[in-house]
Amino acid sequence: MTIKSKYQYGIEFNGHRSNDFGLDVQDKTVGMPAKNKITQAIPFSNTVLDISDLYGGQTYKERTVKITFIVRDGVDPSKERLYSLWTQVVNWLMAPGRKVKLKDDIMHNYYYLAEVEKEPSWDEMRAYGKLSVEFNCYPFRIDELEEGNDIWDEFNFELDIAQVTDFEIVGSRTITLFNMGVTTISPEVVATAPFTIEMGGQRFTLNAGTYSSPDFMLPTGEVAMTVIGTGKLSFNWHKELI
């Protein structure tokens, strides 16, 4: 039996919405990721050298999202029904053995990659209970929409930028991409012909096909590159924010 909650706000995780089980979100705490800092003291000096971004940018630790749900059946207040309901909920939340999408109804265009690793806590009352869960998450929230999309109704003037990510190249062309996220990103590159890309003092050679490699990374901000070849070149990626 599926119960629809009278409250619209909730989360989406592992193929279900929280209010599919009649859950109400009583409390939510979104943790922020800490930076991984790598420092080296310089001998005979008061200076500490920060080399955290030596290999392509600042990295971050995982973050946590903690949520407390009210579990109850407004029609059947029996203990049998309450236990059946929280059994369904716990199995829904604990089933994934890896990080999967966790979507909050607030800023619904972004999602976390999350997994419940710790045991949930259960606080039982007469006809309802409080179930508290902690999601371990990838440090960044990921935009559902690819960069370069033209969906005007979803455009956020504070966080998004209108940009072109598909290019027709004839011979040679300098192009510019904008990584508006907070971390370097490895885009999917789709080439209809062989290309050479020169960026940041490095040269990358592509044959026709689809590529995604940690060797080809877009740093944050404005990224200019020179492309040599003739054909169509596309860059596909999703912005990542804290």
Question: Quick check: is 4 in a domain?
Answer: no
Both 168 and 119 in one domain: the answer is no
C-alpha 182/C-alpha 170 separation (Å) is 32
The parent domain of residue 214 ranges over: 152-241
Q: What is the pLDDT of residue 80?
A: 94
Q: What is the pLDDT of residue 7?
A: 58
> Is pLDDT of 11 > 80?
yes
Tokens of 77: 């207040």
The predicted model scores a pTM of 0.86
CATH of the domain at 163: 2.60.120
Question: Quick check: is 1 in a domain?
Answer: no
> Is pLDDT of 4 > 70?
no
Closest CA to 112 of 61, 57, 65, 60: 65
Q: What is the pLDDT of residues 135-185, one digit of tens each?
A: 999 999 999 999 999 888 888 899 999 999 999 999 999 999 999 999 999
Q: What is the pLDDT of residue 28?
A: 96
Both 212 and 114 in one domain: the answer is no
Tokens of 145: 């929409």
Both 231 and 130 in one domain: the answer is no
Query: DSSP string of 196-219?
Result: EEEETTEEEEE-SEEE--TTS-BP
Q: Which of 87, 114, 139 is the last residue of a domain?
A: 139
| 147, amino acid identity | E
Q: What is the pLDDT of residues 28-82, one digit of tens each?
A: 999 999 999 887 878 877 787 777 777 667 889 999 999 999 999 989 989 999 9
Question: Quick check: is 56 in a domain?
Answer: yes
Both 62 and 168 in one domain: the answer is no
Q: Which of 109, 139, 169 is the last residue of a domain?
A: 139
Q: What is the pLDDT of residue 58?
A: 85
Q: Measured between alpha carbons, how far is residue 112 from residues 89, 102, 108, 175, 218 in Å? A: 19, 5, 11, 31, 21
Both 112 and 163 in one domain: the answer is no
> Is pLDDT of 1 > 70?
no
CATH of the domain at 96: 2.40.30.200
Give the angle 46-47-49 at the CA atoms, nearest 5°: 150
Question: Quick check: is 221 in a domain?
Answer: yes
Do residues 23 and 70 lie in contact, with contact meaning Cβ atoms separated by under 8 Å?
yes
Q: 92 by DSSP, 3-state: which? A: helix
- The domain tally of the chain equals 2
